[in-house]
Structure 1
Amino acid sequence: MQIKDDERELNRARYRALSQQLPLMYGIITINTLAVAYTHIEIAPLFLTLLAPVLLLVFALARTVKYVVGRQRLLSDEQIAKSLRNTIKLVIPLSAIFTLWGLSFYQYGDAHQHAQIVFFIGVTTIVSAFCLMHLRQAAMLHLFIVSIATCTFLLTFGEPVLTAIALNLGVVTPVFATLLLQSEKDFARMILQKRQQRQQHSKLRALNEENKRLANTDSLTGLANRRQFLAEIDECVSRHGKLGSEFVVALLDLDGFKPINDVFGHPAGDQVLVDTAARLQKRFSHLPVLIARLGGDEFGLLFRDPGNDEEVMTLARSACDAFRDAFRFEEGAANLSATIGMARFPAAANSRSLLFDRADYALYYAKQNAKSEPVFFSHDHERLIFANSALEQALRHADLEKEMTVEFQPVLDLEYGSTKGLEALARWYCPTLGRIRPDLFIKAAENIGMMGRLTEVLFTKALKEARNWPGDLTLSFNLSATSLSSEAPVRRLLSIAERSGFPMTRLIFEITESAVMNDFESAMEVLNLIRESGAHVAIDDFGTGFSSLAYVHRLPIDILKVDRSFIRDLTRNERSANVLRSILGLCENLKIACIVEGVETQEQFDLVCDLGGRFIQGYYYSKPLSAGDAHMVLQIESDMQEPPLHAIGDRA
């Protein structure tokens, strides 16, 4: 019979039901009361026929107003529980007064009026119980107070008809009470089920929101991921397109990140990425900039409300400045930088895919020409894209066997004063585009997946010429990063060399530092395969990449080729001379050969000799030669002197 405070939702449902049903109950009671008072006004006292109905009307009106107004108010759980308890308390005196007032009329009037009194009490009781059914305590109290009092009253007359009515009422009341209780239980069960459904829906919605958050969040850094970044660009394209406003997409890539994973391990790399996210968030915490990790060491920046190009460049440079401090982790520390490519909507593009691609191209251009700096996509870049597209299209339709040629640049052995080997250099003359720079068409071949085919054609041509060289001259051939991604491409090249009859011991495969660091473990497998075949391995352009003893001593290499950038300032910069001296000493200690590239002047030649260099390559000795010129020069040299006892790359 108590109202439980912990049944908050059920109590609210009870209150809502009562606020709708009790005004109806009071209306019916008022109508029935007025009907009884009207039929007895001439035979019953005025306090019964006039005063009591007026008081009832006033009370019913006050309670009706209370519940109607209560619908519009936002009541607390405590206020609702208190109101329900007050309703239960009021039922006891009101039921007793109602019964006493109704039965008081039985002593007046004839049999018809007596029947009206019984009908009035019965109907009003049933209606009131139904209206109170959602508050079972009040309904049961009202039903049993009125029924017990009425049955007792009827039994006192001792008349068979009244006794039968009393017994009938006594039997029906418990049955009716059972029906009311069952209805109330169903009501409570329905409210509970709705609550459970809401809870399940709430949990499902929360789970969906969490799944959505996880699907759009990078698990390592907590930033938005690529999916979310692209979706935000789509939204910006739609919104800014309608408003005629602008936004900027920027792609940021870390310079030198790959070696962190390879040298210090992936935990160190993960720490760098987490630190990168924190630094970027700190830089742009006060600006409407979305920061996302797009994958690997690439991050995205979405400037939703950018200023002019100069203002955006200032913000982008501040992002680059965030990487000036060294990254520190348990295994050590590393200095990295960042390069940024940017594209503005709608000047650069008016669609998400094209905008992203052009920001990516600006990043690629910056990597090649302005590393560690932000670069905006421009009309010049657009022209370059068209040029690259034309180049790739021409390469797809090129007759490689006919259009590709090989030139050879000799390597001088200072100890013997003669050529010790030649490096094969790719050349392409396109009938429609003319002569194309090697770095351009090799990059295009990598982009369109033709590098494997191109490499085999050039290698076959180089071997064909090298077979006719006199003595034990070596052939150096450059491998791309694609060739180091798995053993299959190199196995095909070794098979071509074996079929050509060119000795494996005279074959040198040159690789760059960046190609090795692109996938260190795969590169190690490929290099071991080359060494097992009897061929030699050279690191080309040494000094421009990671240049770390952490990998030099692990790699199965025979030769280091010092990049020409150290030689360019050799005569003017003592630091360059010291670097070259250190590299020469390193090679001597590791018992590997060292070739100094880019020697073009007498001064450079003399200084390399003074520093102890033995092998040089560059225009001072010879420019790249056509196959015919190379054969002629080598033949002349062979006729003039006896060949030395050993060649570059010998491991003895």
Structure 2
Amino acid sequence: MRGYFSVQSAWRDRSAPLASARRDLFVLAIVIAAVVLLIWNGSAFFQRLSLAGSEMESGLKIAAVALTLNVALILFGWRRYVDLQHEAELRRDGEARAALIASTDGMTGLLNRKGFADDGEELRLSAQGRDQSLIIFSLQLNRFKAVNDRHGYDVGDAALRQIALELREIVGSEPLVARLAGDEFAVAFAAAAGDTEPADLLAERLLQAVTRPMEIDGRLVQVGAFLGIAESDPGEGQVPDFLRRADIALDRAKSTRSARPIWFDQGMERALIAHSEIEQGIRHGLEHGQFIPYFEAQVDLLTGNIVGFEVLARWDHPLSGPIEPSRFIPIAEEHGLIGRLSEQVILNALAQAVAWDPSIKISVNISPTQLTDSWLAQRIVRLLAETGFPAERLVVEITESSLFADLDLARTIVTSLKNQGIRLALDDFGTGFSSLAHLRALPFDVIKIDRSFVATLATDPESAAIVRAVATLAEALKVPVTVEGIEDATTHAAVAGFGCSVGQGWYFGKPISGDQVTAMLRSRHVAPSAHKLSAHTA
């Protein structure tokens, strides 16, 4: 509707002068015609006075009729003129209302996005003339959806109106306050260039006011909020540009869960551009098969033989070469691409590993996002069918943290996988809050101790105690333990002494491509020892 009103207002603004001119010409034409007729009939009347008898009487009748018509014509013209003036007033009132609706948020009475941009530009130019800067706040409520879900939309709307009143009361009458979208607000005001303290103080007050508990219809309602701040450049840019910068700062506050206002800086914009480029690159790479598996050896700590490989995703970028997963996995998860990416990597890994020694198992990681997919088990079974890879050689690793969202769904998925003969590993064991409960609730075949405990094994007695305790527990449960992050001989000897079954880490060699694994296994005919593997991949 905002676009409708803005277009209509613009059309009416352009047509109003033309319509006014037409009205004036119309009335003027009526008046001129009436005067001419009046003069002509008047002269005819006076000429008739010189006539005699019946001719004079006839002339008087004609003149009387003509004068009556002239008077009626003048009255009609005046009435029409008054009607046109009234119509013009109604149209002006309608245009004013349309302009108000086009620039105002109907629920809160604050400016909307269009009104904020228009009035903000006037404020920016005014501030620029006084050598001041325009400061823009971008504020978004947190957990507001929970208010709607729990109490209903009427309470949510009332909360928005109360928050709008709080914002207006705190900032005063001069700054601009707007509701940009459902739970997003903006504030703009002029301030001395480079003086950030007043803006910081005002932002803190706004956050405190918005996050205070509110009583609405007898219900206690409370929300959180994040706030980003941007300052205009002297003589450059427009309000939407600076609002976009404030939004970038707001996104940083949300991603870091900051309870304090965050100021925009150019590094944020560069990071956003890089983030966007990686996202687009991932989409392109998925279409062109650029995500490939690398394999990290898993070694029997007692014999030193390779017993399996963990699949690690790599981005084989045509310009940058192999890219580490830490650079693209979080972005793929954020944009819902991790499922496709994971399936592409697992499919390639299984297609290569199907020809390897049948005793070697392949471990693949499942992200928390994938574990919310009720069709995950079917997708993995389909990959096995497409590659001909035996289900009993596949190990699916699930992190503890991914189980928290929906334990019942996770139980359904892992049960389906187990029914197909697929083995399950509880990854990053010890980092969650209910590791033992997960061992009891879900049928895991392997426990993987998180590398954070292994990294400090030699220097932190508590880490050593945890690893020893987990190994003892696993032995009692008859569940083998795999240790991640073994980087040196000291750590290797320690975890082997604790009774851990399998280890992996750079002590045994860096991750390598599938072709390298194939060549290595073919050249040795048997699984090489740990020290030989390390020498081969160094």
Query: TM-score normalized by structure 2?
Result: 0.56
Q: Which runs of 5+ in 1 are unaligned?
A: 1-212, 217-227, 255-265, 268-279, 322-337, 643-652
Q: Could you say if the C-alpha distance between residues 341 and 505 of structure 1 is closer, same or farther in structure 2, counting changes exceeding 3 Å?
A: farther
Indicate if the aligned counterparts of 2:485 and 2:506 stay in contact, CA closer than 8 A: yes
Match of 1:410 in 2: 297
> Could you tell me how far apart the structure 1 residues matched to 2:471 and 2:112 are?
53
2:493 pairs, out of 580, 600, 606, with 606
C-alpha distance in 1 between matches for 2:269 and 2:171: 28
Asked whether the 8 Å contact 2:135–2:199 carries over to 1, the reply is no
Q: Which residue of 2 aligns with 1:633?
A: 520
Structure 1 counterpart of 2:517, one-letter code: A
Q: Which residue of 1 aligns with 2:389?
A: 502
CA positional deviation for 1:317: 9.6
Aligned position for 2:135: 246
Contact 2:228 2:264 in 1 (8 A): yes
Please state how far the C-alpha of 1:632 moved relative to its aligned partner: 3.4
Choose the corresponding residue for 1:553, options 436, 440, 461. Answer: 440
**1:342 alignment partner in structure 2:** 228
- Preserved CA contact (<8 Å) 2:229 2:261: no
* Helix, strand or coil at the partner of 2:418: helix
Q: 1:388 to 1:242 in 2, by over 3 A?
A: same
Correspondence for 2:467: 580
State the Cα distance separating 1:288 from its structure 2 match.
5.8
Letter in 2 for 1:458: V
How many angstroms apart in 2 are the aligned matches of 1:554 and 1:390?
A: 42
Q: Deviations over 1:383-405 (max 9, x none)?
A: 12111222222333336554232
Q: Contact 1:339/1:374 (CA < 8 Å) preserved in 2?
A: no
Q: What secondary structure sits across from 2:228 in the alignment?
A: strand
Paired amino acid for 1:614 = S
- Identity, % of aligned pairs? 29
Query: For residues 111 and 442 of structure 2, what CA distance do their matches in structure 1 show?
Result: 44
Q: Does residue 366 of the first structure (1) align with residue 256 of the second (2)?
A: yes
* Aligned-residue offset at 1:565: 2.1
Aligned residue identity for 1:248: F
User: Residue type matched to 2:285 in 1?
Assistant: A
Contact 2:371 2:402 in 1 (8 A): yes
Within a 5 Å distance, the mapping from 1:428-507 to structure 2 comes to 428-507=315-394
Relative to 1, partners in 2 of residues 1:410 and 1:512: Cα closer, same or farther, differing over 3 Å? same
Output the CA distance in 1 between the equivalents of 2:448 and 2:475.
13
- What amino acid is the match of 2:230? R
Match for 1:485: what amino acid? T
Counterparts of residues 67-216 of structure 1 (less than 5 Å):
none
Residue type at the aligned position of 2:380: L
Equivalent position to 1:616, from 494, 497, 503: 503
**1:229–1:300 contact (8 Å) kept in structure 2:** no
Structure 2 residue 276 is matched with structure 1 residue 389: yes
SS of the aligned residue for 2:470 comes to helix
Q: Aligned-pair distance for 1:532?
A: 1.8
- Partner of residue 33, structure 2: none
The 3 A distance-change label for structure 1 pair 431 and 543 is: same
TM-score, normalising length: structure 1: 0.47
> Which of 374-383 and 583-592 deviates more?
583-592
* Residue from 453, 472, 478 that aligns with 1:566: 453
Amino acid at match of 1:344: A
Task: Kindly name which structure, 1 or 2, has the bigger radius of gyration based on alpha carbons.
Answer: 1
1:1-40 correspondence runs (5 A): none
2:158 — aligned with what?
A: none
Larger relative contact order (Cα-Cα within 8 Å, sequence gap ≥ 6)? 2
The Cα offsets for residues 541-568 of structure 1, whole Å up to 9 and x where unpaired, read as: 3445555545453233223322222222
CA 1:504/1:236 → structure 2, altered by over 3 Å: closer, same or farther?
same
Provide the secondary structure at the position in 2 that maps to 1:621. coil
Q: Which amino acid aligns with 2:443?
A: P
2:403 counterpart residue number: 516
Distance 1:602 1:520, change over 3 A: same
1:526 pairs with one of 382, 393, 413 = 413
Distance 1:575 1:319 in 2: 45
From the superposition, tell whether residues 466 and 242 of structure 1 become closer, same or farther in structure 2 (CA, over 3 Å): same
**Does structure 2 retain, via aligned residues, the 8 Å contact 1:391–1:441?**
yes
Letter in 2 for 1:633: M
Shift of 1:461: 0.9
Measured after TM superposition, the shift of residue 526 of structure 1 is 2.0
Q: How does 1:411-426 map to 2 (within 5 A)?
A: 411-426=298-313
What SS does the aligned partner of 1:249 have? strand
State how far apart, in whole Å, the 2-side matches of 1:614 and 1:313 are.
56
8 Å CA contact 2:300, 2:502 repeated in 1: yes
Aligned residues: 375
| Residue 499 of structure 1, CA deviation | 3.5
Match of 2:481 among 594, 618, 621: 594
Q: Flag the 1:248–1:459 CA change in 2: closer, same or farther, 3 A.
A: same
Deviation at 1:234, TM superposition (A): 7.5
Cα distance between partner residues in 2 of 1:585 and 1:373: 45
Change (3 A) 1:608 1:448: same
Q: Is the 8 A contact 2:137 2:227 kept in 1?
A: no
* Equivalent residues of 1:473, 1:506 under 8 A apart: yes
- In structure 1, distance between residues paired with 2:207 and 2:501: 42
Cα gap change, 1:594 to 1:344, in 2 (>3 Å): farther
Letter paired with 1:467: V
RMSD of aligned Cα (Å): 4.8
Preserved CA contact (<8 Å) 1:410 1:622: yes
Cα–Cα, structure 1 residues 587 and 460, in superposed 2: closer, same or farther, change >3 Å? same
Separation of aligned partners in 2, 1:602 and 1:453: 38
Look up the match of 1:536. 423
Q: CA deviation at 1:470?
A: 1.1
Residues 434 and 561 from structure 1, CA distance in 2 versus in 1: closer, same or farther, beyond 3 angstroms?
A: same
Native 8 Å contact 1:486 1:523 kept in 2: no
Matched residue of 2:230: which SS? strand
Q: What is the deviation of 1:610? A: 3.3
